[in-house]
Amino acid sequence: MPSSKNSQTFPYIACVLAFIAIAIMIGLGIWQLDRKAEKDARLDQIQQAQAQDNVDIAKVAEEPYLYEDFIVSAKGNANNQIFFIDNKIVSGKPGYHVLVPLQTNQGMVMLNLGWVSSTGSREVLPKVKIPMLSEIQGVLYIPTLNKIITETNSRYGQFPVLLQQVDLEEIKKHIGKPLLPFVLRLTESAPQSESNFIRDWQVVTMSPEKHLGYAIQWFGLAIAALTVFLLTMLKWMNGPQHRLEQTEQD
């Protein structure tokens, strides 16, 4: 009788790899659902905060973290020390966020005036005109730093300044004055200028719906992989047995 030992060897390694791959895909799907829940909670927080009455800057200066996403009112004078924040995309077009300092009775705070389009070269920054500002309303934003990004502009005191991200410590070195630990993003109702700043603030980088879509994709891939694995195992189980029966009959 011909030996059927090789044909009946159970594919342990293939099974382990299949289970690991399926587990990873399920885990990624669950992670995307968790991210969706976080984004939903974040958007709800923003909506609730901005539904409140405007808060005066004097109230938030000492504990800004309690008022993140609130609309803050402030009075002061903006100067022409312009900061361009690089790599900001709007409708697929590259550009910059434009920040200027505003001197208030509570201290100096950075204002984000909005987005302007790039000139096509980082060597030639856009020419912008600062709107006339004395009383402003802006959404309180506390910038976080991307540690991967390394700042390269060390020409302190030379304006305009091109920065890779909103780094308040770095901005302090350029203006030589202390800053309040947050940024005010001007609302759409704030005065414009000839520069026509776009103030469509992206509070989350990816919508909850996209996270849900990715979760469905990962779960779909897991189901497909499991189906292929089961069909392959069924074929393997039937194949050797059939050949064994044929051998015994011979």
Q: Tell me the pairing of strands 55-56 and 71-75.
A: parallel
Q: Are residues 144 and 239 in the same domain?
A: no
Residue pair 101/78 in contact (Cβ under 8 Å)? The answer is yes
24 and 128, same domain (yes or no):
no
32, 105: one domain: no
Residue 3 placed within a domain:
no
Neighbours of 202 (CB within 10 A): 11
**In this structure, is residue 194 part of a structural domain?**
no
* Nearest of 226, 214, 218 to residue 25 by alpha carbon: 218
Is residue 232 situated within a structural domain?
Answer: yes
Q: In which domain, by residue range, is 227 found?
A: 13-41+208-245
Tokens of 195: 């520069």
Residue 7 within a domain: no
When divided into structural domains, the chain yields a total of 2
Residue 118 within a domain: yes
- Report pLDDT for 246: 47
Residues 74 and 136 sit within 8 Å (Cβ to Cβ): yes
The pTM of this model reads 0.68
| Euclidean distance between CA atoms 114 and 133, whole angstroms | 14
- Tens digits of pLDDT across the chain (250 residues): 444 444 557 677 888 888 999 999 999 999 999 988 877 777 777 677 666 778 889 888 888 888 888 889 889 888 889 999 998 988 889 999 999 999 998 899 999 999 999 988 888 899 988 888 778 888 899 898 888 888 777 788 889 999 999 999 999 999 999 999 999 999 876 555 656 888 887 766 677 888 999 999 999 999 999 998 888 888 877 765 554 554 555 5
